[in-house]
Amino acid sequence: METQGEWKAWLMLVTAVLVSCGVVWGLARAVGLPIQYNLRNVVVRWRSSIATVLGIGAVVAVFVVLRAVARGIEANSGNTGDPVNVLIVRKGSQAESGSLVSRDQFQTLRFFEEIQRNEQGEPMASAEVMLVVNAPRRDGTGEANTLLRGVTPRGVDLRSQVRLTGGRWFEPGKREVVTAQRLAQRFDGFEIGGTIKAGPTQLRVVGQMEAGGSAFDSEVWMDADEARAIFDRDQYSSILVRPRDEESMAVLIGRVDADPRLSLRAERETEYYAKQTMTAKPIKVVAGLLGVAMSVGAVFAAMNTMYASVASRTREVGTLRVLGYSRTAVVICFLIEGACLSTLGGILGCAVARSTDGFSTGTLDFQSFAESVFQFRVTPDLMGMGLLFAVGIGVIGSLLPAIRAARIPVIAALKSI
């Protein structure tokens, strides 16, 4: 079910489309030309119109899809974590995978009075280790790195996003793991009953989990101390704790950061994952560069269509001038036609892009160098950007041909064949 925020975004998109149509209609009425005149010309020259619409539609589709990829990666990290948890890593490290926390540091931290206790009186704290294992893809296209997270007993309790969807949770000491459903769809051996090779050790999959589209959907979980033993790791990667309340959280974060003996950094878990969007930045850059390059080609395509329209309607333009329409009216007439064609192309491109919404794929996470699974997110604001992008292409591509049409001398226009 869509949230209230998504409904508002859809309402804004529809409003923007209606306002744009109202502006076009207003311009047509301002110069005294019926809008049917412009629409008729688009239909009469249907071959060139279709070519222009398809060209602009392709540009808009690529523009929106690339941004949807970046949006999906950002949402993957931004949707991860619990705001009541605090994540602790080594100072100077940018990610858990590059952090080291000793067992002594964990034993010191877990008994801080700011940390919440469960019903058994145990601290709500989990020492965790991040490792990378290589796994074969199901489609036979090779292998890729995947993240393996070792968690201590409280780690599962601290993550409300994660739920078991099949099988059972792992038992320490039995070489058992639980895999994310999305990973099981992409990698061989990640299904329940399968085996994952971790060095010389075979890990048996006993369960599958789902994490609501968060970063945990790209991980395999097992017991932290068992993972350290298998990979010969003496230290953990991070510590996850749950303070008693907001006041305790502020005190705990300040206490950890200020203690020179620990040399650790603490921050709210959601804030930590919100910063882990480095993978999306290169895609945004590519989307911008490719958008600029393709938009230049689309502008020339629209310009070519409008120049051809001007050449075939020279006498028609002269007739409009004789009937009393100004040069400004002629310019606006051609701009409206360009805007109509580009809007149709924009709608087509957005429809194609929208069909990819929710498509699941993976990309390399530049923080951990493991595969991160995410979904395309074609949101209403992205489609609104695509429509504006399309209209901009149409207006810019129509401007020079429109000015040329307005400058044709009336007598010369009437004499043309």
The three-point CA angle 18-20-24 to 5° equals: 115
Question: pLDDT digits over 197-252, tens only?
Answer: 887 889 999 999 998 888 888 899 999 999 999 888 889 999 999 999 999 999 99
Residue closest to 135 by CA, chosen among 206, 222, 73, 199: 199
Q: What is the pLDDT of residue 1?
A: 38
Residue 342 and residue 394 in contact, taking contact as beta carbons nearer than 8 Å: yes
Q: pLDDT tens digits, the chain, 417 residues: what are they?
A: 345 555 666 666 677 667 666 666 666 666 666 666 667 777 777 777 788 888 888 888 888 888 887 777 777 666 788 899 999 999 988 788 888 999 999 998 988 999 999 888 899 999 999 998 888 888 877 888 888 999 988 888 999 889 999 999 999 989 999 999 988 888 999 999 999 988 788 999 999 999 888 888 889 999 999 999 988 888 999 999 999 999 999 999 999 998 888 889 999 998 888 777 655 566 667 666 776 777 777 777 777 776 776 776 777 777 777 777 777 877 877 788 788 888 888 889 889 988 888 777 666 565 555 666 667 788 888 888 888 888 888 888 888 887 887 787 777 666 665
Q: What is the pLDDT of residue 25?
A: 67
**Residue 246 amino acid letter:** E
Q: What tokens were used for 285?
A: 């850059």
Q: What tokens were used for 58?
A: 């392709």
CA atoms within 13 A on the CB side of 304: 13
pTM of the predicted model over 0.75:
no
Rounded CA gap, 85 and 100, in Å? Answer: 19
Fill in the DSSP letter of residue 191: S
Question: pLDDT digits over 62-83, tens only?
Answer: 888 888 877 777 776 667 888 9
Residue 80 and residue 273 in contact, taking contact as beta carbons nearer than 8 Å: yes
Residue 76 and residue 219 in contact, taking contact as beta carbons nearer than 8 Å: no
The total of other beta-carbon atoms located within 10 Å of residue 21's CB is 14
Contact residues for 244 (Cβ-Cβ < 8 A; gap 6+): 114, 115, 116
Rounded CA gap, 349 and 64, in Å? Answer: 8
Place of tokens 């230290």: 235
SS3 label, residue 123: strand
Rounded CA gap, 365 and 358, in Å? Answer: 19
Rounded CA gap, 161 and 171, in Å? Answer: 21
Q: What tokens were used for 199?
A: 């060095």
